[in-house]
């Protein structure tokens, strides 16, 4: 079996993420990781909070607490939400960890030794009132293009134009609000990506044929436009310090590495964090350094993160001139919008992950988001679509099937799985259909086609309903008790099969379904084709219980309440 290294885009520390962040990286990575583990593969799923950069410092300042304390609290708050979504990370680390500091500084030294880092003097905004140079985001003002008066020095949030701090009209410090700003000369480190352009092109060319079109096209666009040398240091109080043994002057000035440089390295850093917790049993380098051919590295991210992971971080890894593992497959996603517009905390538009869990259990969200993942294009969340999907797929097709079968069998045959007659033609046809649908489900998960995998899972659930309608045990029992018992035993075996194979999508509900049966030797991690055809995992005489309603139907009142609370009008 292959060893699968899996990472998802690092969620930024500043604030709880919305549903688009969840479906664009962490959730599909979790579904894939769970599936691979069930199939017997060795899986390491690594993620972390991305904690450095200007927004973290500004958010801490707003709350009046040290930035380290802010990040620690925010990390715990985010981790609690991800636990609530049942994301089964092997480790969820922090980019501010000592391990990431160590490895980031090592990368910088090696890049410098190999001639890929250069110290350059640049002109930058300085605030005498704050006594410091201001990074781009620390400068605010009026956008010269659209007149938005809260534009940042790197980009206008309103019109999305890329800016330089000197472009802003009436610029001011985001720290103190002072308009007494100067432009002074200062020194920073630049990564000479232009010298690595050819190597990155060759590396991308070897992989882009296997990547999804979205990832390939973004990587190729950046390469066609040409890689530019980029500053990798900033004047901030919070970050990975420039090492004094290599750049003593810059270290003395308090320079830190820019977040885009250290954040991707945190995948390695977090793996070392994981290993350091139990060093006797875990070798982090076997996953990242001189990893053998059995390690397959898959990354999950939304399209705005693709350039960093298909071009910029590979350039860093290539320039280090050491055998660090590079990504094999980039699963890129488009954006999930909210009624066609952006999720917005300030405008109270859209559902954020902590709010989602306050409303409904995680499995409602997990299934809906994956079944509507923005793979081929942007997709739009609407409460109408969410309600319809929950009611049809989860409540009716799966939940109602489980409840009907177990409740009716308990009422007519007691609290053990009935025996009934031998399987007949209908059961043979059902077994073949289930085996075929299961193979389709596996094929789509292997290909990381999540919407198609959800459709295949839904078809598996629907097959059980069709069988039940065909056999109609509530009528059958009037003339053929043994036949009705066979129908119910077969349906109960379908419930167990659904519990096993639905686990990547709806793990909590799958566990509830599985625990409905008292099977002492129930160690199955997946279902083979022969097992799917036979449907005998739950033998006659097995005690069972009827679980509570698995998925409650959402009402018109629920729909109205959700729209009122979160906004439900199309974006202007």
How far is CA 413 from each of CA 386, 399, 406, 487, rounded to the nearest angstrom?
A: 37, 21, 10, 12
pLDDT-derived band at 500, boundaries 50, 70, 90: very high
d(Cα 510, Cα 516) in Å, to the nearest integer? 10
Q: Which residue has the tokens 């109960």?
A: 492
DSSP letter for each residue of 321-353:
TS-B---SEEEEE-PEEETTB--BTTTTBS-BH
- The three-class DSSP label of residue 479 is helix
Phi and psi at residue 399, to the nearest 5°: -60, -45
Q: Of 61-65, 245-249, 298-302, where does mean pLDDT reach its minimum?
A: 61-65
pLDDT tens for residues 5-23?
Answer: 999 999 999 889 999 999 9
Q: Higher-confidence residue: 131 or 368? A: 368
pLDDT tens for residues 297-339?
Answer: 999 999 989 999 999 999 999 999 999 999 999 999 999 999 9
- Most confident option among 147-156, 222-231, 447-456: 447-456
Q: What is the CA radius of gyration of the chain?
A: 27
Among residues of the chain, what percentage have pLDDT more than 90? 85
User: What rounded mean pLDDT belongs to the chain?
Assistant: 94
Q: Of 39-43, 63-67, 415-419, 567-571, where does mean pLDDT reach its minimum?
A: 567-571
d(Cα 35, Cα 443) in Å, to the nearest integer? 12
Helical packing angle, 481-501 and 507-514, nearest 10°: 140
* Residue 136 clears pLDDT 80, i.e. is over it: yes
pLDDT tens for residues 117-132?
Answer: 999 999 889 999 988 8
d(Cα 77, Cα 545) in Å, to the nearest integer? 36
Instruction: Pull the structure tokens for residue 90.
Output: 């092997």
How far is CA 169 from each of CA 115, 288, 544, rounded to the nearest angstrom?
A: 39, 47, 71
pLDDT-derived band at 379, boundaries 50, 70, 90: very high
Contacts of 259 (CB under 8 A, 6+ apart): 50, 52, 53, 95, 234, 239
pLDDT tens for residues 103-118?
Answer: 999 999 999 999 999 9
Task: With beta carbons less than 8 A apart as the criterion, state whether 307 and 219 touch.
Answer: yes
Structural domains of the chain sorted by starting position, each given as residue range(s) with its CATH number in brackets: 3-115+259-333 (3.40.50.620), 381-534 (1.10.730.10)
Pick left, alpha or beta for residue 473 (phi over 0 → left; psi -120 to 50 → alpha; otherwise beta).
alpha
Q: For residues 41-61, give the mean pLDDT.
A: 93
* Residue 175 clears pLDDT 80, i.e. is over it: yes
pLDDT-derived band at 350, boundaries 50, 70, 90: confident
At residue 204, the pLDDT reads 96
- Most confident option among 172-181, 340-349, 543-552: 543-552
Name the binding residues: 143, 146, 156, 159, 345
Looking at the chain, how many residues does it have?
A: 572
pLDDT-derived band at 280, boundaries 50, 70, 90: confident
At residue 572, the pLDDT reads 47
Nearest Cα to 300, choosing from 509, 89, 149?
89
Phi and psi at residue 45, to the nearest 5°: -105, 115
pLDDT-derived band at 529, boundaries 50, 70, 90: very high
d(Cα 327, Cα 336) in Å, to the nearest integer? 24
At residue 281, the pLDDT reads 74
Cα pseudo-dihedral 395, 399, 401, 407, rounded to 10:
-120
Q: Which residue has the tokens 């350091």?
A: 276
pLDDT-derived band at 570, boundaries 50, 70, 90: low
Phi and psi at residue 330, to the nearest 5°: -110, 110
How far is CA 88 from each of CA 229, 252, 263, 525, 538, rounded to the nearest angstrom?
A: 38, 42, 21, 16, 28
d(Cα 361, Cα 369) in Å, to the nearest integer? 13
* Residue 346 clears pLDDT 70, i.e. is over it: no
Name the binding residues for ATP: 345
Among residues of the chain, what percentage have pLDDT more than 70? 99
Nearest Cα to 271, choosing from 97, 21, 78, 13?
97
Q: Which residue has the tokens 């490895």?
A: 103
Q: For residues 529-538, give the mean pLDDT.
A: 96
Name the binding residues for Zn(2+): 143, 146, 156, 159
Task: With beta carbons less than 8 A apart as the criterion, state whether 334 and 376 touch.
Answer: yes
Q: Of 37-46, 157-166, 291-300, where does mean pLDDT reach its minimum?
A: 157-166
Q: Which residue has the tokens 């298909």?
A: 310
Q: How many CB atoms lie within 10 A of CB 186?
A: 17
Residue 320: half-sphere exposure toward Cβ, Cα within 13 Å = 21
pTM: 0.94
Residue 152: half-sphere exposure toward Cβ, Cα within 13 Å = 15
* Residue 571 clears pLDDT 60, i.e. is over it: no
């Amino acid at each position: 079996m292959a060893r699968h290294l899996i990472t998802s885009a690092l969620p930024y520390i500043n604030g709880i993420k919305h549903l688009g962040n969840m479906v664009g990286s962490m959730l599909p990575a979790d579904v894939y990781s769970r599936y691979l583990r069930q199939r017997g593969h060795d899986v390491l799923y690594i993620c972390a909070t991305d904690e450095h950069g200007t927004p973290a410092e500004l958010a801490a300042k707003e709350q009046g607490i040290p930035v380290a304390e802010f990040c620690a609290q925010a990390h715990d708050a985010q981790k609690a939400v991800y636990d609530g979504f049942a994301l089964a990370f092997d480790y969820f680390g922090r980019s501010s960890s000592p391990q990431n500091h160590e490895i980031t500084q090592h990368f910088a030294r090696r890049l410098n030794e190999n001639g890929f880092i250069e110290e350059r003097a640049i002109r930058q905004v300085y605030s005498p009132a704050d006594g410091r140079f201001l990074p781009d985001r620390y400068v605010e003002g009026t956008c010269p293009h659209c007149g938005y008066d809260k534009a940042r020095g790197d980009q206008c949030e309103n019109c999305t134009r890329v800016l330089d701090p000197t472009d802003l009209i009436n610029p001011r410090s985001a720290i103190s609000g002072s308009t007494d700003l100067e432009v002074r000369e200062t020194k920073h480190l630049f990564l000479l990506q232009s010298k690595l352009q050819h190597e990155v092109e060759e590396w991308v060319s070897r992989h882009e044929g296997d990547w999804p079109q979205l990832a390939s096209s973004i990587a190729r666009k950046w390469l066609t436009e040409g890689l530019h040398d980029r500053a990798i240091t900033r004047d901030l109080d919070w970050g990975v310090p420039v090492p004094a043994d290599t750049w003593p002057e810059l270290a003395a000035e308090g320079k830190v590495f820019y977040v885009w440089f250290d954040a991707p390295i945190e995948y390695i850093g977090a793996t070392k964090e994981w290993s350091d917790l139990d060093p006797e049993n875990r070798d982090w380098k076997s996953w990242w350094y001189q990893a053998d051919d059995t390690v397959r590295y898959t990354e999950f991210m939304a399209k705005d993160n693709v350039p960093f992971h298909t071009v910029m971080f590979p350039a860093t890894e290539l320039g280090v001139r050491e055998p660090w593992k590079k990504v094999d497959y980039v699963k890129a996603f488009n954006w999930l919008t909210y009624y066609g517009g952006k999720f917005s905390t300030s405008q109270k538009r859209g559902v954020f992950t902590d709010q989602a869990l306050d409303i409904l259990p995680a499995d409602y969200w997990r299934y809906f988001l994956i079944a509507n993942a923005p793979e081929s294009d942007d997709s739009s969340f609407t409460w109408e679509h969410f309600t319809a999907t929950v009611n049809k797929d989860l409540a009716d097709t799966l939940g109602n099937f489980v409840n009907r079968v177990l409740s009716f069998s308990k009422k007519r045959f007691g609290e053990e799985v009935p025996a009934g007659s031998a399987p007949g033609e209908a059961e043979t046809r059902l077994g073949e259909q289930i085996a075929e649908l299961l193979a389709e489900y596996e094929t789509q998960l292997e290909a990381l086609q999540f919407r198609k995998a959800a459709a295949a899972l839904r078809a598996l659930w629907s097959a059980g309903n069709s069988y039940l309608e065909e056999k109609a045990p509530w009528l059958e029992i009037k003339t053929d008790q043994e036949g009705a018992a066979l129908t119910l035993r077969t349906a109960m075996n379908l419930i167990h099969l659904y519990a096993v194979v639905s686990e990547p999508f709806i793990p909590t509900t799958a566990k509830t379904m599985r625990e409905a049966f008292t099977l002492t030797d129930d160690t199955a991690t997946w279902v083979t084709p022969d097992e799917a055809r036979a449907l005998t995992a739950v033998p006659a005489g097995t005690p069972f219980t009827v679980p509570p309603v698995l998925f409650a139907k959402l009402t018109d009142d629920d729909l109205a309440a959700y729209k009122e609370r979160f906004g439900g009008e199309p974006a202007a």
